[in-house]
């Protein structure tokens, strides 16, 4: 082997090794995922409550959590501090959001499922530290928001069962739309 060939072979071997290393390290391809890693990501809650974790909370327990971790953006009374969205209130007598985009969409006048509220808060809020609330804290702050909207009685314990049983005020406005007219809403053409 000439000296040049040896150098070329050495560079080739070196780059192969470097490529192999850079591929296995960042992506961990071929490394089995642990049940704990899957559980940390598997947090979705379906409308019927499937996926809700064990735990519970009341509006009374949620009030201080809301004041400390949510009110700075959503306002003390859920009125929203622009650009952060309003969560509570808004008119209940209209569902004309499509023709009037200025109507505030709130938990009481727009959300069809209380279970989605739990899922959203647990997954995405507070904005800067999403996923930091425990299941008990999430049940409590969800109970607080629902009680402020008059959907949950004060003192009522919210857990997987009672949360899934809640009928939201806007639920009836959401219909299956098969575009053939059998189940579509009055305004679906
Ligand atoms: C730093 C500001 C900030 C804090 C603190 C915060 N939020 Fe939010 N929140 C936002 C923003 C911004 C959005 C809109 C996100 C989007 O549309 O993608 C939002 C959206 C929401 C929504 C959905 C509103 C809707 O109808 O679309 C809910 C519910 C909510 N936040 C609850 C909470 C709760 C409960 C807490 C406290 C545990 C909290 N947020 C703390 C900024 C914040």
Q: What is the pLDDT averaged over residues 29-36?
A: 91
Select from 79, 120, 126 the residue to mutate for testing ligand 1; criterion: most ligand atoms less than 8 Å from CB.
126
Q: Among the CATH numbers 1.10.760.10, 2.70.98.10, 1.20.1250.20, 3.40.30.10, which is that of 39-173?
A: 1.10.760.10
Write down the pTM of the prediction: 0.84
- Ligand 1 center to residue 116 CA distance, Å? 13
Phi, psi of 12 (to 5 degrees): -60, -50
Q: Helices marked H in 28-113 — which ranges?
A: 35-41, 59-69, 71-74
* Extents of the domains making up the chain: 3-31, 39-173
Q: Report the C-alpha gap between 100 and 189 in whole angstroms.
A: 19
Q: What is the DSSP letter of 129?
A: S
CA separation, residue 151 to residues 17, 54, 78, 176, 189 (Å): 62, 22, 15, 24, 32
Q: Report the C-alpha gap between 110 and 170 in whole angstroms.
A: 5
Q: What is the pLDDT averaged over residues 89-112?
A: 94
pLDDT surpasses 70 at 182: no
> pLDDT tens digits, residue range 113-131?
999 999 999 999 999 999 9
- Ligand 1 center to residue 39 CA distance, Å? 24
């Amino acid at each position: 082997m000439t000296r040049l060939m040896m150098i070329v072979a050495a560079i080739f071997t070196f780059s192969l090794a470097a490529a192999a290393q850079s591929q296995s390290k960042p992506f961990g391809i071929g490394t089995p995922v642990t049940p704990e890693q899957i559980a940390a990501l598997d947090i979705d809650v379906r409308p019927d409550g499937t996926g809700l974790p064990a735990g519970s909370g009341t509006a009374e327990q949620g009030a201080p959590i809301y004041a400390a971790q949510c009110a700075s953006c959503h306002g003390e009374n859920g009125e929203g501090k622009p650009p952060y969205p309003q969560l509570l209130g808004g008119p209940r007598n209209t569902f004309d959001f499509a023709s009037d985009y200025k109507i505030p969409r709130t938990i009481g006048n727009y959300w069809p499922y209380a279970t989605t509220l739990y899922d959203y808060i647990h997954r995405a809020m507070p904005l800067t530290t999403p996923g930091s609330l425990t299941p008990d804290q999430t049940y409590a702050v969800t109970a607080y928001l629902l009680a402020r909207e008059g959907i949950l009685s004060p003192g009522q314990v919210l857990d997987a069962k009672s949360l899934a049983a809640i009928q939201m005020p806007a639920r009836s406005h959401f219909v299956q739309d098969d575009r053939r007219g059998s189940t579509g809403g009055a305004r679906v053409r």
